Amino acid sequence: MGSGPGTGGRGGGGGGAGGLATLPFLEQEMAAAAEEAPPEEAAAPEEAPTPAEAPPEEAAAPEEAPTPAEAPPEEAAAPEEVPPEVAAAAEAVPADPYAMDFVSELGGSTGAVLVRDPATGKLYVRKTGDSADHLREEAYADDLYRAMGVDVPISHVYETAKGPVKLGEFLQGTALGKLTGEARANAEAQVRKNFVADALLGNWDVIGLASDNILVTPAGQVMRIDNGGSLRYRAMGLKKAASSWTGSVGEINSMRDPVKTSGRVFGKLTDAEVKQQIGGILKQSDKILAAAPKELRPVLSERLADLAKRAASM
């Protein structure tokens, strides 16, 4: 009903004659046009959603961020797992090194005593030593030998309120120095197979002054039973000179010198045999470094690299 009068008023204005008569109509048209303009201008924002939709596109960029965000797990994975041989040795000994029955004194610079596990009857060698760091170093060497597949007694170091304590299985056998003839020759041949491992660890006293650091079990297994002269320490507990424990594996030559105790066993090795052993050691580089404490990894890395250079020139 409201549209009727509006239509009639517009028709009446068109009925007059002359230009002036049409002014009211024009004014109405112009007014109508002016009133209709805002909707047209207001329509412009309808195109605004295009830029308005840009933020979602920009917001989508962070969806690609997970790639760098996933980097930390890769960095966290850097520390390698402890070699299974090392973990197994730690699990194979009693939980408490002091819950043992004393059997006898064994002597030596590490205060070794023979003890018995009352629960199993098994015999163990317990060491405390004058130097806590020397005792730990011996244990580091044992773990490194295990990582390289070299036979050493099962053992573990416990950090106690009284300081570190090492407990290792007591083995029956015959010291290398007490063997003669073919038995001695066969045992030395077995020892020579892991010469490069000894050189890498700087185990100058691997044979022992009386050839008593190598034990041959009744089953013929050759064991390195006292590795306290490895890495940064000498056999009696003193630290090696800084110039003696470096990234250069001079032991490749010095430990083959027949004048030395070790050279009487290792002096028979040829360069070709040493080179072959180096190749086997280098294949285990990651495993070796994983078994080493962090403070020893840099120099061991250098020594492994030095072995590679020496092999290349042999």
d(CA 217, CA 221): 5
Within this chain, do residues 157 and 192 fall inside the same structural domain, yes or no?
Answer: no
Structure tokens at 1: 């009903």
Q: Are residues 209 and 150 in the same domain?
A: no
Q: Round the average pLDDT of the chain to a whole number and report it.
A: 81
In this structure, the answer to whether residues 271 and 194 fall within a common structural domain is yes
Same domain, residue pair 179 and 308: yes
Q: pTM of this prediction?
A: 0.73
The answer to whether position 3 is within a domain reads no
Cα dihedral 112, 118, 120, 122 in deg (nearest 10): 20
- Statement to judge: residues 230 and 255 lie in one domain: yes
206 lies in the same domain as 239: yes
Q: Does 19 map to a domain?
A: no
Query: Can you give the residue range of the structural domain that contains 261?
Result: 174-312
Q: What is the pLDDT of residue 22?
A: 40
Residues 265-297 pLDDT 10s: 999 999 999 999 999 999 999 999 999 999 999
* pLDDT tens digits, 93-103: 888 999 999 99
Q: Is residue 225 part of a domain?
A: yes
- Whether 45 is covered by a domain: the verdict is no
Q: Is 52 part of any domain?
A: no
Question: Domain boundary residue among 169, 184, 218?
Answer: 169
pLDDT at 231 (0 to 100): 97
The verdict on residue 214 lying in a domain is: yes
Mean pLDDT lowest among 34-38, 181-185, 219-223: 34-38
| 82 against 28, higher pLDDT | 82
User: Do residue 306 and residue 192 come from a single domain?
Assistant: yes
Q: How many domains does the structure of the chain reveal?
A: 2
User: What's residue 86's pLDDT?
Assistant: 82
Domain end marker among 124, 149, 169: 169
For residues 183 and 158, state if they share a domain. no
Residue 71 lies in a domain: no
Q: What is the CATH number of the domain that holds 163?
A: 3.30.200
Residues 294 and 201 in one domain: yes
Picking from 153, 169, 185, the residue at the C-terminal end of a domain is: 169
- Are 291 and 193 within one domain? yes
- Whether residue 105 is found in the same domain as residue 216: no
Q: What is the pLDDT of residue 252?
A: 98
148 and 98 in a single domain? The answer is yes
Residue 82 has a pLDDT of 78
Inside any domain, residue 270: yes
Q: What is the pLDDT of residue 80?
A: 60
